[in-house]
Amino acid sequence: MTQPTEPVRRGRGRRPADEVRREVLQAAGELLLAEGMAGFTIEKVAALAGASRVTLHKWWPSKGALALDGYFNVVGPTLAFPDTGDLAADLTAQLRAFVHLMSHTQAGRVMPELIGQGQTDPELMAAFRERYSAPRRALAVEILERARRRGELREDLDLEVIVDQLWGACYHRLLIPDQPLTDEFAEALVRNLLNGVGRP
Amino acid sequence: MTQPTEPVRRGRGRRPADEVRREVLQAAGELLLAEGMAGFTIEKVAALAGASRVTLHKWWPSKGALALDGYFNVVGPTLAFPDTGDLAADLTAQLRAFVHLMSHTQAGRVMPELIGQGQTDPELMAAFRERYSAPRRALAVEILERARRRGELREDLDLEVIVDQLWGACYHRLLIPDQPLTDEFAEALVRNLLNGVGRP
């Protein structure tokens, strides 16, 4: 991600580049959640943040990249990974937060739209993966790796698969809504996977 | 689904309606896999099958409905659910077939496009759920229910959640391709979920 280094001018004076960046990300996230990708443009974000379009085009290679960074800027705090040393509790808390975000906020309308559009828009999918899904996946694997070192997980696992069986299962219900995204679902995901569903 | 009941005329003579229906579904599936949703129209299917557009519009309420029925007509046999009485083996075989279909055939290009477009096209998503995902889900739950009656699964499970943790996990990798869809993945899904990933 390009880091802003120079101050940027605007009407009400000069702001440090990192302040401009923060305001742009805030504006981008809010615009995206309010209007979805259909109403999202770099021009509107520039106007809302009082920044120049040239600056935004310099910092973000595409509309999708700005949208994804804006999205994560807004939802990131909600999606923090707890790491209390109790894997089942931590996973359940994180998945409940994710499920709540998807089922009770505008993020649950924007996320399917981003992934949906990404299926036929390779630049958007690249931005999605680079700026959202790959780092989130890496973070989840890191948490799982720590739990494995604590002895909470089997040694012989591919931890990437666990990501698909927890968060991936949620994306499945989000994108193909045959069944609801609920707290009970989040809890069952963790219980099923940690304990196994086979008869002991 | 509307069942054809009357014979339909065309140039080379009269065919029974169920034969026309079979030919239309075959043509629809082939056209969809060859050209994707972008090149798929009811008109083209009618021409390919030598059937009348009026008939097709009578039998299928939308382009999406015809596309989905055509899709399933072509891939259905590949996705048959074995039921040999050994749940782990049956699930692994079915998931391997699904993963192979998605990673080595045109279906793996069409499926993401259908789900992607469905995110902003409610009629297409309704057709997808009604004609594909809901019946597939019901079939999977039926197989799981039988395994539970045989004593292979815990009694206290919501079987719907298992569908998300197996097939949903595959859709996750299909739609957000951060990690590959492989045989090893299919096998790990079943092993993880049946045995549990927690340290015994």
Which of B164, B174, B179, B183 to mutate to test binding with chain A, by most A CBs within 10 Å of its CB? B164
Contact B113 A129 (CB under 8 A): no
Condensed to tens digits (0 to 9), the pLDDT of residues A101-112 reads 999 999 999 999
Q: Indicate the CATH number for domain B8-72.
A: 1.10.10.60
Contact B199 A158 (CB under 8 A): no
Contact A116 B120 (CB under 8 A): yes
What is B3-69 written as a DSSP string?
PP-S-EEETTEEE-HHHHHHHHHHHHHHHHHHHTGGG--HHHHHHHHT--HHHHHHH-SSHHHHHHH
How many CA atoms are closer than 13 Å to the CA of A161, on its beta-carbon side? 23
B169 Cα to chain A: minimum distance (Å): 5
Condensed to tens digits (0 to 9), the pLDDT of residues A32-48 reads 999 999 999 999 999 99
Asked if the model's pLDDT at residue B2 lies above 50, the reply is: no
**A107: buried, middle or exposed (CB in 10 Å: 19+, 13-18, 0-12)?**
buried
Condensed to tens digits (0 to 9), the pLDDT of residues B70-91 reads 999 999 999 989 999 999 999 9
Cα–Cα nearest to A186, from A59, A87, A93, A73: A93
Q: What is the three-class DSSP state of B189? A: helix
Interface size between A and B, measured as CB pairs under 8 A: 170
Q: With contacts defined as CB-CB under 8 Å, which chain A residues touch B137?
A: 178-179
Condensed to tens digits (0 to 9), the pLDDT of residues B152-179 reads 999 999 999 999 999 999 999 999 999 9
Q: Which CATH architecture has domain B80-195?
A: Orthogonal Bundle (1.10)
Contact yes or no for A67/A32 (Cβ under 8 A): yes
Distance of alpha carbon B166 from the chain centroid = 15
Share of chain A above pLDDT 70, in %: 94
Contact yes or no for B181/B109 (Cβ under 8 A): no
Q: With contacts defined as CB-CB under 8 Å, which chain A residues touch B152?
A: 198-199
Confidence at A14, pLDDT banded by 50, 70, 90: confident
Asked if the model's pLDDT at residue B1 lies above 80, the reply is: no
Mean of the per-residue pLDDT values for chain A?
93
Cα–Cα nearest to B30, from B76, B74, B60: B74
B6 Cα to chain A: minimum distance (Å): 34
Q: With contacts defined as CB-CB under 8 Å, which chain B residues touch A102?
A: none
What does the alpha-carbon distance between residue B114 and residue A49 come to, in Å, rounded to a whole number? 36
How high is the pLDDT of residue A12?
56
Condensed to tens digits (0 to 9), the pLDDT of residues A147-162 reads 999 999 999 999 999 9
Write down the domain spans for chain B. 8-72, 80-195
How high is the pLDDT of residue B200?
81
What does the alpha-carbon distance between residue A78 and residue B15 come to, in Å, rounded to a whole number? 61
